[in-house]
Amino acid sequence: MVYRYNISLREEIKQIVIADLVLTTAFTLFLLGGIFDFSGKFIIEFLYFFPAMFIVVTLVFVLHELMHRQVAKKFGAVASFQYSINGLMITLATGLLGFVFGIPGATVIYTNNFTKREEGIVSLAGPLTNFAVFILFFIIYLLLPFIHSSYIDLMVTFGMFISVLLAFFNMLPIMPLDGAKVLNWDKNVYITSIIIIFILMAFSYYILVHSIISMLIEIVIMIALASFFSLFYRNVI
């Protein structure tokens, strides 16, 4: 995918919406077990869960990317969200197969003037947004005994799970992910962020999956995927 130097705001909004809808579709398919669990009620269940997943993905993914965009612009860079056609297809295909490798697009930043500090802050802005979203969902989670809604319960627990999962993946110290740039800027900030993420991940997995072993397996898978993705970035394959 060749990204353009700059796109119009209207085109950027269109690409954000498309990426949001594709990622929401993938996560909804994942929630239903993919096409392997297809049944007569599949379409009804898909339409039922889609709104909840749309809220989760919009808060977790879109806000993450927009925060990168806004902080980069604050430091004088040209920044815009742009989708990747290949990434959209991979995201949708993995959802159909019952898991999600969500790479529908990213915030593209153009500048020659970033210091290590500025690049680190821009990179950290996305994961910090995921922390804020996690806290929002956690507050709602504490209120669940008073809400009595299994639908909101699912949305909140899944929201906590996905927000911290995205934060962890992006903070892996592998280029071109955020973690490599944050580590290059300030090791203490990076280590502190990773410790917080591990604590939140353990909490999320305990609530949703009830298994820390599953978390460790997921971590290994994400590291493998990030490493494979990095090979493309570095034009090794």
- Per-residue pLDDT band for 163 (boundaries 50, 70, 90) equals very high
Report the pLDDT value the prediction gives residue 224, as an integer from 0 to 100: 78
pLDDT digits (tens, 9 = 90+) for 173-229: 888 889 999 999 999 999 999 999 888 888 887 777 666 676 677 777 777 777 776
Average pLDDT over residues 148-167: 90
Report the pLDDT value the prediction gives residue 237, as an integer from 0 to 100: 45
CA triple 87-93-98, angle to 5 deg: 125
Exposed, middle or buried: residue 65 (CB in 10 Å: 0-12, 13-18, 19+)?
Answer: buried
Give catalytic status of residue 65 as yes or no: yes
The residue ranges of every structural domain in the chain are 1-113, 116-237
* Spatial separation of the C-alpha atoms in residues 175 and 190, rounded to whole Å: 14
Lowest-confidence segment of 43-47, 69-73, 209-213 by average pLDDT: 209-213
pLDDT digits (tens, 9 = 90+) for 120-139: 999 999 999 999 999 999 99
Average pLDDT over residues 131-148: 90
Q: Share the mean pLDDT of the chain.
A: 87
More confident residue, 99 or 16: 16
Report the pLDDT value the prediction gives residue 79, as an integer from 0 to 100: 93
Centroid of chain to Cα 12? 18
Phi and psi at residue 77, to the nearest 5°: -85, 160
- Per-residue pLDDT band for 233 (boundaries 50, 70, 90) equals low
pTM for the whole structure: 0.87
Query: Please, how many CA atoms are within 13 Å of residue 221, restricted to the half-sphere of its CB?
Result: 10
Report the pLDDT value the prediction gives residue 193, as an integer from 0 to 100: 93
Report the pLDDT value the prediction gives residue 236, as an integer from 0 to 100: 47
Choosing from 11, 45, 65, 218, the catalytic residue is 65
